[in-house]
Amino acid sequence: MSVAVIGLGVSGVAAARLAAEKGGEVYVSDSRTEDAVATRGADLGDGIEVDLGRHDIERMVDADFVVASPGILPSSPVLQGLKRRGVKWISEPEFASRFLDASLIGITGTNGKTTTTLLVNHLLHASGVTSAAGGNVGGGLAPAASDLARLKERPEWVVLEMSSFQLSGVETFHPDIGVITNLSADHLDRYRSIDEYYSDKSKLFENATEQSVWVFPADDDEVRRLSDGVPGRRYTFGCGTDSSAFLSEGQLILNLEGDIEPVLQRDELPLIGAHNVTNALAAALTARLAGAGSGGVMAGLGSARALPHRLEPVADRAGVLWINDSKATNVAATRSALSSLDRSVILLLGGKDKGEDFAQLAEAMRGRARIVVGYGAAGSRAINELSEALRVGSNEEEESIGGPRASPSLRLVEGSLEDVVVSARNWAESGDVVLLSPACSSFDMYENYEHRGQHFTLLARAEV
């Protein structure tokens, strides 16, 4: 077996190690030459050919497998060069799945997929079911899929988070249980249209059979449309007592084939936000379908903790709660975060401009956000679009008296995140939440959303 791996990120390194362990002849290339990339290449050791600063397409043409890292754009010269030669490439989880000796849960969606992935794994462990989670999780919270394929002890289940970029490169990937958390616009800086983005998400169904098990949101029209006609058994979560998992009278409940199981009181779930109730319902349903016991699911939900950068409370001073939701890199995630809070909010909004419509946040802001602070590359456009949307949709009489649907004050802060946090601290009043939920990616100022969230946390906790 000869394997060519494009990209020396986390997934590329994992794929190269797996290929070498399986006895393959491995070639890895990366167009970058920075010290950190060179170190990762050197750490792969003897027997793996590493090429920095270039991609040798002719070297890849004869490989049995070409594995492309998710950060490599389809429009990149290397992938376009391979396409012209009729060479197909696969994603790293697709490569890893060929060596996974375990039942497989595949989880995708626009928002909530990391929380749901790790929560399913947590609930399985709480029930005594051996499992391992990984995939697109990132942030050091779980390994790449190829690292799971190298585990010496085989778990009963592998739980993989799959991004649209990873699903775009599947051929034989076939989850025993497939989960979609939700779908909304995202990554429009990479995709030419929302339909193209959804098309990659739908590749989760690529190899569906009548034995496949699917877990879907009950009220998501796009998921329903994409899954229409897909074979397999379907279970739903979210709204309505006709779902397989739902919230009723303050209690999370499962309905498996007519067998009603009360799981947990809503106020006993440690996770903040209505969207995390939905994530918990999806995870509980998935875990039960994978063999977790009801007692383990209950105990696991009760012991769940917020993940870093996902509605994570990081400081509470002078009656002001600071929440790090840096993972909210699209409008839908920020809208969900706003809807989940019952205190007045100072919202920090901005970052790299991905081209989404900020006006979609206007209704979620009314009566919740007291101040909206725009910053970064997208800050000015966000404030302009929100100003127009709030003006068009305003009730002048209610706004004039500060009614329950009053619009927020919109403010643009030039400069760094330090400047933004100082301004928010000056404007905050006891009872407020200062919420970093940017609705944008972070690459205008930071390496990634984790880097941004870590900096915000330090600033929120700073003694001033």
Segment 302-314 mean pLDDT: 90
- Burial class, 172, CB count within 10 angstroms (exposed 0-12 / middle 13-18 / buried 19+): exposed
pLDDT value for 463? 72
Other Cβ atoms less than 10 A from the Cβ of 339: the count is 14
pLDDT of residue 390 exceeding 60, the answer is yes
Q: How far apart are CA 404 and CA 390, in angstroms?
A: 14
Given the residues 55, 122, 125, 187, select the one marked as catalytic. Answer: 187
pLDDT at 323: 96
Categorize the per-residue pLDDT at 402 as very low, low, confident or very high, splitting at 50, 70 and 90.
Answer: very low
Q: For residue 393, what pLDDT is reported?
A: 64
Predicted TM-score (pTM) above 0.75: yes
Active-site entry in 55, 111, 113, 354: 113
Of 121, 136, 324, 330, the catalytic one is 136
pLDDT tens digits along 180-224? 999 998 888 888 899 999 999 999 999 999 999 999 999 999 999
pLDDT for 404 beyond 70: no
Closest CA to 358 of 389, 327, 328, 401: 389
- Active-site annotation holds for 136: yes
How confident is the model at residue 368, as a pLDDT? Answer: 93
Q: Is the pLDDT of residue 104 over 50?
A: yes
Describe the chain by its helix, strand, coil percentages, rounded to 5.
35, 25, 40
Q: Quick one: average pLDDT of 417-427? A: 97
DSSP 444: T
Active site residue 187: yes
Q: In this model, does residue 401 exceed pLDDT 60?
A: no
CA dist 404 and 217 (Å) reads 30
Q: Work out the pLDDT band at 438, boundaries 50, 70, 90.
A: very high
Lowest mean pLDDT among 15-19, 61-65, 191-195, 348-352: 191-195
pLDDT in tens, 347-387: 999 999 988 999 999 999 999 999 999 999 999 999 999 99
State yes or no: pLDDT of 15 exceeds 70: yes
Residue 189: the pLDDT is 81
* Partners of 195 in the β-ladder: none
The CA distance from 142 to 148, in Å, is: 10
- Percent of the chain whose predicted confidence (pLDDT) is above 90: 85
* Mean pLDDT, the chain, whole residue set: 93
pLDDT above 50: residue 400: no
pLDDT, tens only, 220-253: 999 999 999 999 999 999 978 889 999 999 999 9
Residues 6+ apart with CB under 8 A from 16: 3, 5, 26, 28, 44, 48
Secondary structure class of 396 (helix, strand, coil): helix
Q: What is the mean pLDDT of residues 330-339?
A: 92
Ramachandran region, residue 432 (left: φ > 0; alpha: ψ -120 to 50; beta: rest): beta
Task: Identify the structural domains of the chain with CATH numbers, from first to last.
Answer: 2-88 (3.40.50.720), 94-302 (3.40.1190.10), 312-461 (3.90.190.20)
Given a cut of 90, whether residue 141 has pLDDT beyond it is no
Whether 203 is a known active-site residue: answer no
